Amino acid sequence: MDDRQLLQDLDDQQRLVVEAVGSPVACLAGAGSGKTRTLTYRLAHAALTGAIDPRAALCVTFTTTAAAEIKQRLTALGVTGVSSRTFHAASLRQAQYFWPQVYGSQLPPIVERRDELIERVCVWLGWQPSAGLVSEISTELSWIKQSNVLPEQYVALAETSGRHRLRLEADQMADAIVAYEEIKQAAAVIDMDDLLLCNVALLSTSDATRRQVQQTYRHFAFDEYQDVSPLQARLVELWVGRRDDVLVVGDPDQAIHSFAGSRSSYLQGFAATHPGTIEVSLTNNYRSSSQIVAAARIVGHPTRSMVAAGPVGSAVQLIDAADDQAEQTQVVAWLQAGHQTGRSWSDMAILVRTHSQVGQLRQVLQTAGVPFSSRDDLEWSGRDRLHLGTIHAAKGDEWSQVALMGLDENHMPFSLAKSPDQVAEERRLLYVGMTRARQALCLSWSRTADGLRVKPSPFLDDLVAH
């Protein structure tokens, strides 16, 4: 694509980001505002005008899907050579290359799924290694490593951070974390979180390694920067050094991973730590209809006002059901009606708060004859099947028609969310779910659960009042 044509495809806000080559830029990109386009066009514009060598550019994302999409978009724009990788993929490549040079041995083997190691921890400590317990320990392991603190600091840090556990007390979890590290060390392996720690250690302790990496990459773009953890932020510092050609893109209103150690403050405070930063807000929502954007503003309380730039759609459907069965029946009927108008199943989704709710939906959809799949299914994509799953897993996706189910007071906010910050994150999660929809959105809840009366999510009060 010609560079002049490339710039014509952008709105004024996007063009500011794209043309600020050589300067640090913090781009606060609202839902549906074209952040991926803006990021890729900045790299393409810089390469097509000769401002950068694309082989010296590193684009870092949080998922392999996003990394591949950015690579594909750049290729379509006539730019090749940019390294588009996840934090883990970039760290793996660097650690495998430099570890033998610095430490005289190969990088230890990586355990991608650590469930087996955690099960051994449970047995060692005399606990029954249930799936729930293994998952809980794994979550806390990731959190403490992404927070870049030592295992012996867990008890104090968990208390001040308001960590909630269903199965273990803080001191028991600390024992599990220490035992896990001992078993892992005895097995001479590392896990995926250790991979980032290893790369940070390499770049921190070896000046020659750090200089070589910084000479290789001189231009940077970081996607979803509101989800960066302290460990990842440290890695960014080591990669970037004092270079100015760096773009961070993200949306504080979509920060939904603090339970895993992420902190949106790294995005919001980027200008304070990088002098000369240009801050740009993308506020035009090109994805969702004006009705969906209006409802998301009412429910989500975003810090920056979105402007609906997309077409007018249908009114947001609200389903206030007497019980779970009635809710499921009405939502399935709403989706079937959409399918009968010609909308493909693969362009629809049901999103819920918890994995247990996903399991409950499977039988309902099977009975109704609705083809479906989730990210847990093999070959879940590429077929005409209704989609996932939890709202967390849907981040970054979009569909024409989306139903958000189970929005009662116990699930939204989730029952374990107690502090104001945790409740605020639950509200952002609902906002993320709502803005996955392009043309049609349904919000549903039941008035009874396990035979007990429950209320709709308090987040919906203002919307219902309208």
Q: Give the tens place of pLDDT for each residue, 144-157.
A: 999 988 888 999 98
Nearest to 117 by CA among 187, 178, 195: 187
Indicate the SS3 state at residue 411: strand
Residues with Cβ within 8 Å of 446's Cβ and at least 6 positions away in sequence, in order, are 321, 322, 323, 324, 326, 327, 406, 408, 454
The fold for domain 3-91+195-282 equals Rossmann fold (3.40.50)
- What CA–CA distance (Å, rounded) separates 373 from 375? 7
pTM for the model: 0.92
Q: Can you tell me which residue has the tokens 């975003």?
A: 302
Domain 290-465 sits in which CATH superfamily? P-loop containing nucleotide triphosphate hydrolases (3.40.50.300)
- What CA–CA distance (Å, rounded) separates 220 from 208? 20
Indicate the SS3 state at residue 251: coil
What average pLDDT does the segment 364-369 reach? 91
Provide the pLDDT confidence category of residue 466 given band limits of 50, 70 and 90: confident
- What CA–CA distance (Å, rounded) separates 226 from 6? 27
Distances (CA, A) of 140 to 233, 285, 459: 19, 35, 28
Q: Is the pLDDT of residue 166 over 90?
A: no
Q: Do domains 3-91+195-282 and 290-465 have the same CATH topology?
A: yes
Q: Is the pLDDT of residue 124 over 60?
A: yes
Nearest to 305 by CA among 317, 320, 294: 294
- What CA–CA distance (Å, rounded) separates 48 from 2? 8
Q: What is the pLDDT of residue 378?
A: 42
Each residue's pLDDT tens digit, 14-34: 999 999 999 999 999 999 999
Q: Is the pLDDT of residue 375 over 70?
A: no
What's the N-to-C CA distance of the chain in angstroms? Answer: 46
Whether residue 454 contacts residue 446, with contact meaning beta carbons closer than 8 Å, is answered with yes
Dig out the tokens for 446 from the structure: 């039941």
What average pLDDT does the segment 189-207 reach? 95
**Helical packing angle, 115-124 and 131-146, nearest 10°:** 110
- What CA–CA distance (Å, rounded) separates 27 from 239? 19
Each residue's pLDDT tens digit, 262-282: 999 999 999 999 999 999 999
Alpha-carbon Rg for the chain, nearest whole angstrom, is: 23
Cis link prior to 413 (omega < 30° from 0)?
A: yes
- What CA–CA distance (Å, rounded) separates 151 from 197? 14
Q: Is the pLDDT of residue 259 over 90?
A: no
Average pLDDT taken over every residue of the chain: 93
- What CA–CA distance (Å, rounded) separates 248 from 246? 7
Backbone angles phi, psi at 251, to 5 degrees: -140, 110
Q: What is the pLDDT of residue 376?
A: 53
Q: What is the pLDDT of residue 333?
A: 96
Indicate the SS3 state at residue 58: strand
Q: How many CA atoms lie within 13 A of 153 on its CB side?
A: 10
Each residue's pLDDT tens digit, 37-57: 999 999 999 999 999 999 999
Whether residue 331 contacts residue 440, with contact meaning beta carbons closer than 8 Å, is answered with no
Whether residue 48 contacts residue 79, with contact meaning beta carbons closer than 8 Å, is answered with yes
- What CA–CA distance (Å, rounded) separates 258 from 255? 7
Indicate the SS3 state at residue 314: coil
Q: Which residue has the higher pLDDT, 374 or 215?
A: 215
Nearest to 227 by CA among 196, 258, 199: 258
Provide the pLDDT confidence category of residue 379 given band limits of 50, 70 and 90: very low
Across 414-457, where does the E strand assignment appear? 437-446, 448-449, 452-453
Q: How many CA atoms lie within 13 A of 175 on its CB side?
A: 12
Question: What residue type is 394 in one-letter code?
Answer: A
Domain extent listing, the chain? 3-91+195-282, 114-188, 290-465
Q: What is the pLDDT of residue 356?
A: 85
- What CA–CA distance (Å, rounded) separates 54 from 81? 5
Q: Is 278 left (phi over 0), alpha (psi -120 to 50) or beta?
A: beta
Strands 399-404 and 348-351: parallel
Per-residue burial over 66-87, b = 16 or more CB atoms within 10 Å of its CB, e = otherwise: bbebbbebbeebebeebbbbbb
Whether residue 140 contacts residue 118, with contact meaning beta carbons closer than 8 Å, is answered with no
Distances (CA, A) of 308 to 57, 294, 302, 315, 391: 33, 8, 14, 14, 22
